[in-house]
């Protein structure tokens, strides 16, 4: 007895005849809104969370070299603000941390130093050796080139800052008022910063304390490093900048310091 082929259940037959629904096509206003949301999110991140900086000088060698490009955490060291304060990972900077901040006496200039004194700390140097609260500091990150002895720089604050090359005009008077028993005492809401290239660093010894309000963030890691002349940051003309950009393009592979890429900072 012959059998007719299985025609399937009514549900199966209906399913075969149903077409896939057409995908929604994004309209122009929707596309613009999507792009705008991505732009706003990216702008928020680079403005308030992470920002890129280039190292212009050798004051932090060998921790940071001229031409290192770093991502800076702007959120963690920021002061608590408004109703979101309790929910954000804010904290005050710690002694020994590297920070980016606005120069106390040069408006608009970004500077990178290591915090060596927090509020209340008592600081002095003896022949280049740093003492904090009476204890000599172990500093393995220091550049080994100590240079020639300099009395003001290496036995700070034993000698007067008046007339010393590189000292900010108002610093000698402030310095005298904050010295107690041969130590410089870091005041409230201020920090004392020094470069890791200690013999070649204009730092808090020369222009004073870093106000907490000036702190921008904490460098996280080096995302790119390129061999850069020490005076490149002083070449600000359009032709000089264009020339260096062309140099980067033509020497990108040979002068990029590949071994420093994604190097974490601490």
Reported as a pLDDT band with limits 50, 70 and 90, residue 7 is very low
Position 235 scores a pLDDT of: 87
Tokens of 95: 């002694």
Q: Is the pLDDT of residue 55 over 80?
A: yes
Q: Is residue 60 classed exposed, middle or buried when 0-12, 13-18 and 19+ CB atoms within 10 A define those classes?
A: buried
Q: Backbone phi, then psi, for 199, in 5-degree steps? A: -85, -5
Reported as a pLDDT band with limits 50, 70 and 90, residue 24 is low
Q: Is the pLDDT of residue 1 over 70?
A: no
Contacts for 182 with CB less than 8 Å, ≥ 6 apart: 124, 157, 158
Tokens of 72: 């800076």
Tokens of 80: 């608590």
Please tell me which of 89-103, 179-193, 231-245 the model is most confident about, judged by mean pLDDT. Answer: 179-193
Beta bridge partners of 247: none
Q: Which superfamily does CATH assign the domain made up of 46-264 to? A: Umud Fragment, subunit A (2.10.109.10)
Position 83 scores a pLDDT of: 43
Q: What is the mean pLDDT of the chain?
A: 84
End-to-end CA distance of the chain: give it in Å, rounded.
86
Q: Is the pLDDT of residue 96 over 50?
A: yes
Position 34 scores a pLDDT of: 59
Average pLDDT over residues 221-244: 91
Share of the chain above pLDDT 90, in %: 64
CA distance 132 to 14: 83
Q: Is residue 165 classed exposed, middle or buried when 0-12, 13-18 and 19+ CB atoms within 10 A define those classes?
A: exposed
CA distance 257 to 225: 5
Q: Where are the domains of the chain?
A: 46-264
| Cut 0.85: pTM above it | no
CA distance 159 to 144: 24
Helix H segments across the chain?
A: 10-17, 28-44, 151-154, 171-177, 204-207, 238-255
Q: Each residue of 108-159: pLDDT tens digit?
A: 899 999 999 999 999 999 999 999 999 999 999 999 888 899 999 999 999 9
CA quadruple 221, 140, 184, 56: dihedral sign: negative
Q: Each residue of 156-205: pLDDT tens digit?
A: 999 999 999 999 999 999 999 999 999 999 999 999 999 999 999 999 99
Position 32 scores a pLDDT of: 64
CA quadruple 140, 215, 171, 188: dihedral sign: negative
Position 5 scores a pLDDT of: 47
**CA 84 distance to own-chain centroid:** 23
Position 80 scores a pLDDT of: 54
Position 140 scores a pLDDT of: 94
Between residues 156 and 9, the one the model is more confident about: 156
Question: Is the separation of the CB atoms in 255 and 225 below 8 Å?
Answer: no
């Amino acid at each position: 007895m012959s059998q007719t082929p299985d025609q399937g259940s009514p549900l199966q037959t209906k399913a075969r005849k149903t077409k896939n629904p057409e995908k929604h096509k994004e309209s122009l206003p929707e596309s613009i809104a999507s792009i705008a949301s991505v732009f706003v999110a990216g702008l928020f991140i680079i403005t308030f969370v992470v920002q890129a900086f280039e190292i212009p000088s050798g004051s932090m060698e060998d921790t940071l070299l001229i031409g290192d490009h770093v991502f800076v955490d702007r959120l963690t060291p920021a002061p608590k603000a408004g109703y979101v304060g309790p929910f954000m990972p804010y904290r005050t900077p710690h002694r020994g941390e590297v920070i980016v901040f606005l120069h106390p006496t040069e408006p608009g200039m970004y500077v990178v130093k290591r915090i060596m004194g927090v509020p209340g700390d008592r600081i002095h140097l003896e022949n280049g050796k740093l003492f904090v609260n009476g204890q000599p500091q172990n500093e393995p990150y220091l550049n080994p080139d100590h240079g020639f002895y300099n009395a003001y720089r290496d036995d700070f604050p034993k000698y007067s800052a008046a007339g010393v090359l590189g000292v900010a005009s108002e610093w000698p008077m402030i310095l005298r008022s904050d010295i107690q028993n041969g130590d410089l005492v870091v005041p409230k809401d201020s920090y004392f910063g020094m470069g890791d290239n200690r013999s070649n660093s204009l730092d808090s010894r020369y222009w004073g304390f870093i106000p907490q309000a000036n702190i921008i963030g904490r460098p996280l890691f080096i995302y790119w490093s390129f061999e850069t002349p020490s005076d490149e940051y002083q070449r600000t003309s359009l032709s000089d900048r264009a020339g260096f950009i062309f140099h980067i393009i033509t020497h990108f592979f040979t002068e990029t310091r590949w071994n420093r890429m994604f190097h974490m900072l601490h």
